[in-house]
Amino acid sequence: MTDAAPHRPEDTYSYLGPAGTFTEAALKQVPEAAGKTWRSVNNVGEALADVTSGRSIAAVIAIENSIEGGVSATQDALATVPGLRIIGEYLVPVNFVLVARHGTALADVRTVNAHPVAYAQSRGWLERHLPEHGHIPASSNVQSAASLFEPDNTADAAVAPPGITDHHDVTVLARDIGDNPNAVTRFVLVSRSRALPEPTGADKTSLIVELPSDEPGALLAMLEQFSTRGVNLSLLESRPIGDALGRYRFVVDLDGHVADERVADALLGLRRTSPNVIFLGSYPRADQREIEYHAKYDDEIFIEARDWLRGLLSGEPD
């Protein structure tokens, strides 16, 4: 877990650091990364650049938060950086502690360092317990605590992840200060690998789909590609394409693996009707919940139909 060893890209995993972030907590869940080099980077763009350039074999990035929604920077990067594939998914419960330099009491706190997202998610607690506090935005959930020890620091406390005490010599003024106790962030492991993870029966497939801009019913038509094959969506988010107001692409997570016939057929339908479909990968779900679907969408139903059609076309007797 250090960069001191000679750099071996195939043994390196990039993540949004520094050590102690929620992203690092996600990386700890990746079995194949255990004992390898973990490379801390400053933002999603750097993490993905490591992967595309071959500097790392894979990167862990946050893709969705149960409170904040989709992580726009990740969604937009996956839509525009070619050659990436999601090969794993991990869930990290999100909660926060309020920390300070030793000797500081809660009553002493006037100003709080916090990443804007962490601040938003613990604001209720802060307003109840520190109604007069000021906020200084930090560039990460770990930097907020690290800054307490910097020369130009003016804050008295910091909002940080629970694991912060492993990395910084701070005292914990309060635990579980997040406003929503069930908050969770979803992370994905991204690589350049073309090989698909094996279907497990509890898989997810991620896509980015652009809609034809001149057709009013285009979104409806896209959704029908899924519904007519019994494919359920667990995520559908719009993102602006960015060239003009009113033009969107959609980030889609669906239940199932591209090796499932119903998913493959839905992808064919999408590919035909969308100006641009990006396949981001099929991979095991973090929650390992088995996909349920109606028996009429079983693989054998699709295979039997193709056999029947082949018979018609070849002129075989029924």
- Hey, which residues between 220 and 279 contact its own copies (CB under 8 A)? 220-221, 223-225, 227-228, 232-240, 242-246, 248, 258-259, 264, 267-269, 271-273, 279
> Which one of 34, 169, 182, 213 is in contact with its own copies (CB under 8 A)?
182
Which positions from 144 through 163 interact with its own copies, judged by CB under 8 A?
Answer: 152, 154
Please tell me whether residue 102 binds its own copies under the rule CB under 8 A.
no
Terminal Cα-to-Cα distance of the chain (whole angstroms): 64
CB of 173 to its own copies, least distance (A): 23
Give the span between the Cα atoms of 163 and 161, in whole angstroms.
5
Please tell me whether residue 53 binds its own copies under the rule CB under 8 A.
no
Please tell me whether residue 180 binds its own copies under the rule CB under 8 A.
yes
Nearer to its own copies, 93 or 171 (CB): 93
Which positions from 80 through 99 interact with its own copies, judged by CB under 8 A?
Answer: 82-83, 91
Which pair of tokens denotes residue 114?
Answer: 């916090």
From the list 9-17, 54-62, 96-104, 132-140, the region that binds its own copies by CB under 8 A is 132-140
* Cβ(206)–Cβ(252) below 8 Å: yes
For 182, which DSSP code?
T
DSSP string over 53-116? HTS-SEEEEEEEETTTEE-HHHHHHHHHSTT-EEEEEEEEE---EEEE-TT--GGG--EEEE-H
Q: Are strands 97-100 and 248-255 parallel, antiparallel or unpaired?
A: unpaired
CB of 317 to its own copies, least distance (A): 6
* Cβ(149)–Cβ(101) below 8 Å: yes
CB of 286 to its own copies, least distance (A): 10
Please tell me whether residue 317 binds its own copies under the rule CB under 8 A.
yes
From the list 2-10, 47-55, 61-69, 167-175, the region that binds its own copies by CB under 8 A is 61-69
Q: What are phi and psi of 101, to 5 degrees?
A: -65, 150
